[in-house]
């Protein structure tokens, strides 16, 4: 409850008194509780601006204000992560709260340090608050989740017995190396205070915070009794009037200031920091200003009138909600999906129709803290269903009628696919303004992140790259020739390949995929896809074949070999940057016998020349400009499996060292390198 005539919300966050939004100083208790409503860029998209409330005194973004509970009053804010020697990351310490009405909560927050063979310390000006140390066990398949056990990361709760007068508002974080151990995973280390409940629900791996700049923490706040003493002095007998809030002095000491907390008494409700805030329907009963019976009768009549009005409002609102859900269901392709369900084309057992309340609760009303990623098809959120299952929920962008078929198409396609390397659909929701898709949650992000960002803690070994390439090829082979109807994915790229907890590949995003009849050889469609992965033959003819997926898979193979982006910026002779196609870069290197100059350093270190040449030749054949000369996905899978098998001890050294020459005849087609550059530039 805000003060009358004061702004009540900012960015979806309710602002109750003593907090308030300026410039009217009467809207907040003092400058420590002043809220500034700012326009900020989304953490996931620089083009998306939103309003967000900030605690002006300490310059922290406010996420929510908690109601009075457990004798405490709290707020959730975004607090910076403290990085040490991390490329592209600024080393920022926890925000100094000195001089504000806030202190870091020792009840809700914990201290986390992500490092190997290092010790981390959280200190104040008066000494150590918390410290922990980690040991090294470089196991890339380990699930670090909540950082229990002290392996490669550590955690500590904040002591309940700390002196709040000393350890309340000004913290700093230090990380130092233990002399007996070293970190084999690199020098990037980081530590932070974080709300323990948020960490438990939102992170499957505590190392994921490396890709964030901040995490939520809880701050307790208490009013200064000296400044707020008028209410206390005016009501010395606080037990006589139930509408008067109970105010407690000396709940805790903070420096030389005595603090105060106020709350409505039992059976009352309201904002205890406003004048006469706590309301009760028997307020006038027994008052000398009106007769008891008359007052009681009037009160009952008024109560019944209010209940009746509330009931009518509730019924009308419920009917409107039902009508809106029906309208959205129809608009979002519900009738089309029902047609597919009745036709038998959809696996009904795999597709559940979720209601909107389930998914709103699962994602905390689609909080920005739950965003996993954004793309052209929509935004993906992490959610937890009522039964405890973690899911990924794709919230589509506002779609027009021409794109509804793409959404329903993804449901239909995925319901038909049963393969361990294809992401599983769990259901959808059509009764919201924009349609929602629910998938199994894949915890380790995209292949693109691991290739392009070169994550030091979990490097892609040569064995992992071979395994991922084989799994991608096997899944596409299944789609092309193993499913009941051939399916063309049409948007194969490293960003659409997810990695599960064991770093196995899962192909995702079937929004523009198509199934075809067995006697069809191609689709004639408007060109869809992603630049850098798009088949030049398809781009010119608008005819999409299974060999177009092969081309895109070839680009992913080259990404795995080189660690390069499919389209990257290079500095040209002029001041402007030029765009370089990985296709042209790779094929040119192959033709000039410079393969090992462009291969990723880890691949060179861990793979044999024979294996690298075999995979490179396979990728080159996949990138043939003439689709007829490309291998099938089944052939790609077989050759990759053979390379994998050659690395196993059961194969002889002679078999493993058999030479493989570069394929020169018709490997690229009849176009020369200059032609390749023209093609790559055209799309």
- DSSP annotation of 167: S
Q: What is the rounded CA–CA span in Å between residue 40 and residue 28?
A: 23
560, pLDDT greater than 70: yes
Cβ–Cβ contacts within 10 Å for residue 633, how many?
A: 25
Can you give the pLDDT at residue 105? Answer: 85
What is the reported pLDDT for 636?
96
Q: Name the CA dihedral angle for 572, 577, 581, 584, rounded to a multiple of 10 degrees.
A: -10
Tokens of 522: 């191609």
pLDDT band of residue 662 (cuts 50, 70, 90) is very low
C-beta separation of 607 from 617 below 8 A: no
The vertex-300 CA angle with 295 and 302, nearest 5°, equals 95
In 379-436, which residue ranges form alpha helices assigned H by DSSP? Answer: 401-416
Q: How far apart are CA 61 and CA 474, in angstroms?
A: 46
Q: Cβ neighbours of residue 306 under 8 Å, at least 6 residues apart?
A: none
DSSP class of residue 264 equals P
pLDDT of residue 504: 93
Give the pLDDT score at 655. Answer: 35
Alpha-carbon distance of 262 to 273, in angstroms, equals: 7
Average pLDDT over residues 435-452: 87
pLDDT band with cut points at 50, 70 and 90 for residue 291: very low
Query: Do residues 39 and 72 lie in contact, with contact meaning Cβ atoms separated by under 8 Å?
Result: no
Mean pLDDT is lowest, of 105-109, 224-228, 269-273, 399-403, for: 399-403
668, pLDDT greater than 60: no
pLDDT tens per residue, range 201-231 = 776 677 778 888 889 999 988 776 666 655 5
From the candidates 491, 535, 546, 549, which is the catalytic residue?
491
Contact 122, 82 (CB under 8 A): no
In whole angstroms, what is the distance from residue 322 CA to residue 231 CA?
47
Q: Within 10 Å of residue 352's Cβ, how many Cβ atoms?
A: 13
463, pLDDT greater than 90 = yes
Structure tokens given for 399:
């779609």
Which residue is associated with the tokens 């790779």? Answer: 586
Q: Which two tokens stand for residue 22?
A: 């300026």
Dihedral of the alpha carbons of 644, 649, 650, 652, in degrees to the nearest 10: 90
* Residue 200: pLDDT over 60: yes
User: In the prediction, which pLDDT does 547 show?
Assistant: 92
| Residues forming a β-bridge with 608 | none
d(CA 306, CA 462) in angstroms, rounded, equals 71
pLDDT at 456: 62
Say how far apart CA 417 and CA 478 lie, in whole Å. 9
Closest CA to 513 of 498, 533, 529: 529
Of the two residues 254 and 367, the one the predictor is more confident about is 367
Does pLDDT of 444 surpass 60?
yes
Q: How confident is the model at residue 249 (pLDDT cuts 50, 70, 90)?
A: low
Q: Give the pLDDT score at 397.
A: 67
Query: What is the tens place of the pLDDT at every residue in 511-548?
Result: 654 544 444 444 445 556 688 888 888 888 878 888 99
Do the Cβ atoms of 134 and 153 come closer than 8 Å?
A: yes
Strand order in the sheet with 189-195: 82-84, 189-195, 109-114, 153-157
Q: What pLDDT band is residue 269 in, cutting at 50, 70 and 90?
A: confident
CB 17 within 8 A of CB 271: yes
CB 140 within 8 A of CB 503: yes
Most confident stretch, 98-107, 243-252, 324-333:
98-107
> Which residue, chain included where needed, has tokens 């805790």?
252
What residues form DSSP beta bridges with 620?
none
CA terminus-to-terminus distance, the chain: 56
- Cβ(676)–Cβ(607) below 8 Å: no
pLDDT of residue 390: 92
| pLDDT class of 262 with cuts at 50, 70, 90 | confident
How much is the pLDDT for 598? 94
pLDDT at 45 over 80: no
pLDDT at position 178: 65
pLDDT average, residue stretch 331-353: 68
The sign one gets for the Cα dihedral 463, 464, 468, 469 is negative
**Residues in contact with 62: Cβ distance below 8 Å, sequence separation at least 6, in sequence order:** 13, 35, 52, 53, 54, 55, 75, 76, 77
Q: Does the pLDDT at position 680 exceed 50?
A: no
Give residue 497's pLDDT band: very low, low, confident or very high (50, 70, 90). very high
Tell me the helix, strand and coil percentages in the chain, rounded to 5.
35, 25, 45
Q: What average pLDDT does range 29-45 have in this prediction?
A: 76
Nearest CA-CA partner of 263 in 277, 246, 276: 246
- Given pLDDT bands bounded at 50, 70 and 90, which one contains residue 310? confident
- pLDDT digit string, tens, across residues 580-625: 788 899 999 999 999 999 999 999 999 999 999 999 999 999 999 9
Q: Which residue has the higher pLDDT, 115 or 456?
A: 115
3-state DSSP of 506-574: EECCCCCCEECCCCCCCEECCCCCCCCCCCHHHHHHCEECHHHHHHHHHHHHHHHHHCCCCEEEEECCC
On the question of pLDDT at 68 being above 60, the answer is yes
Find all residues with CB under 8 Å of 71, minimum gap 6, and list them: 251, 261
The four Cα atoms 193, 195, 196, 198 give a dihedral, to 10 degrees, of -130
Residue 92, pLDDT score: 86
Q: Among 86-100, 316-330, 562-576, where is mean pLDDT lowest? A: 562-576
519 catalytic? Reply is no
Q: Which residues pair with 62 in a beta bridge?
A: 77
Q: How far apart are CA 109 and CA 187, in angstroms?
A: 26
Say what the pLDDT of residue 471 is: 96
CB of 477 within 8 A of CB of 636? yes
Cα–Cα separations (whole angstroms), residue 150 to 115, 443, 510:
10, 21, 40
| Res 132 pLDDT > 80 | yes
Q: Is the pLDDT of residue 335 over 70?
A: yes
Q: How far apart are CA 378 and CA 24, in angstroms?
A: 39
Q: Residue 78 corresponds to which tokens in the numbers above? A: 């975004």
pLDDT per position as a tens digit, 351-386: 788 888 899 999 999 888 888 877 666 788 999 998
- Residue 225 vs residue 188, higher pLDDT: 188
What per-residue confidence (pLDDT) applies to 562? Answer: 93
CA 187, distance to chain mean position in Å, is 25
133 vs 153: CA distance, rounded Å: 8
Mean pLDDT, rounded, of the chain? 76
How far apart CA 183 and CA 137 sit, in angstroms, is 9
Distances (CA, A) of 592 to 587, 589, 673: 9, 5, 11
498 and 445 in contact (C-beta within 8 Å)? yes
Confidence of residue 350 (pLDDT cuts 50, 70, 90): low
């Amino acid at each position: 409850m805000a003060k009358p005539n004061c702004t009540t919300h900012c960015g979806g966050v309710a602002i109750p008194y003593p907090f308030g939004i300026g410039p009217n100083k009467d809207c907040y208790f003092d400058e420590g509780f002043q809220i500034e409503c700012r326009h900020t860029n989304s953490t996931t998209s620089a083009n998306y601006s939103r309003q967000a409330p900030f605690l002006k005194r300490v310059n922290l973004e406010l996420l929510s204000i908690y109601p009075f509970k457990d004798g405490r009053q709290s707020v959730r804010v975004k607090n910076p992560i403290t990085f040490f020697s991390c490329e592209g990351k600024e080393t920022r310490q926890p925000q100094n709260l000195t001089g504000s009405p806030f202190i870091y909560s020792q009840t809700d927050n914990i201290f986390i340090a992500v490092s190997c063979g290092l010790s981390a310390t959280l200190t104040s000006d008066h000494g150590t608050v918390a410290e922990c140390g980690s040991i090294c066990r470089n196991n890339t398949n380990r699930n670090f989740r909540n950082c229990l056990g002290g392996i490669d990361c550590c955690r500590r709760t904040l002591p309940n017995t700390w002196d709040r007068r000393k350890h309340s508002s000004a913290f700093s974080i230090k990380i130092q190396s233990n002399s007996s151990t070293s970190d084999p995973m690199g020098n990037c280390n980081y530590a932070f205070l974080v709300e323990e409940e948020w960490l438990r629900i939102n992170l499957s791996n505590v190392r994921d915070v490396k890709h964030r700049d901040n995490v939520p923490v809880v701050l307790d706040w208490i009013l200064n009794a000296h400044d707020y003493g008028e209410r206390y002095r005016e009501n010395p007998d606080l037990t006589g009037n139930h509408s008067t809030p109970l105010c407690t002095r000396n709940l805790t000491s903070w420096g030389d200031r005595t603090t105060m907390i106020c709350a409505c008494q039992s059976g009352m409700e309201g904002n205890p920091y406003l004048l006469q805030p706590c309301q009760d329907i028997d307020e006038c009963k027994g008052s000398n200003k009106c007769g008891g019976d008359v007052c009681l009768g009037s009160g009952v009549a008024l109560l019944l009138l209010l209940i009746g009005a509330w009931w009518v409002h509730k019924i009308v609102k419920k009917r409107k909600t039902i009508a809106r859900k029906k309208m959205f269901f129809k608009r979002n392709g519900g009738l089309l999906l029902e047609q597919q369900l009745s036709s038998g084309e959809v696996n009904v057992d795999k597709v559940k129709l979720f209601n909107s309340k389930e998914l709103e609760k699962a994602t905390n009303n689609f909080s920005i803290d739950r965003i996993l990623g954004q793309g052209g098809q929509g935004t993906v959120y992490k959610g937890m269903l009522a039964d405890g299952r973690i899911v990924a929920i794709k919230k589509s962008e506002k779609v027009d009628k021409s794109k509804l078929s793409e959404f329903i198409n993804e449901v239909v396609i995925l319901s038909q696919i049963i393969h361990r390397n294809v992401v599983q659909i769990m259901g959808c929701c059509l009764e919201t303004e924009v349609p929602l898709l629910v998938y199994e949650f894949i915890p380790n992000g995209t292949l693109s992140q691991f290739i392009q960002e070169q994550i030091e803690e979990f490097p892609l070994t040569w064995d992992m790259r071979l395994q991922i390439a084989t799994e991608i090829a096997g899944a596409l082979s299944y789609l092309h020739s193993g499913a009941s109807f051939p399916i063309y994915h049409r948007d194969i790229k490293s960003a659409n390949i997810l990695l599960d907890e064991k770093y196995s590949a899962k192909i995702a995003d079937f929004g523009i995929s198509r199934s075809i009849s067995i006697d069809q050889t191609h689709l004639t469609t408007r060109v869809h896809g992603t630049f850098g992965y798009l088949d030049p033959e398809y781009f010119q003819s608008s005819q999409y074949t299974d060999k177009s997926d092969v081309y895109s898979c070839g680009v992913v193979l080259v990404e795995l070999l080189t660690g390069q982006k499919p389209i990257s910026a290079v500095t040209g002779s002029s001041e402007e940057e030029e765009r370089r196609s990985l296709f042209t870069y790779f094929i040119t290197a192959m033709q000039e016998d410079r393969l090992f100059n462009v291969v990723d350093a880890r691949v060179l270190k861990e793979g044999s020349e024979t294996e690298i040449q075999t995979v490179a030749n396979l990728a080159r054949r996949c990138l043939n400009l003439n689709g007829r000369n490309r291998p099938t996905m089944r052939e790609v899978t077989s050759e990759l499996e053979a390379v994998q098998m050659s690395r196993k001890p059961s194969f002889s050294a002679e078999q493993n060292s058999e030479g493989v020459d570069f394929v020169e005849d018709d490997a690229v087609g009849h176009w020369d390198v200059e032609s390749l550059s023209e093609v790559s530039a055209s799309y």
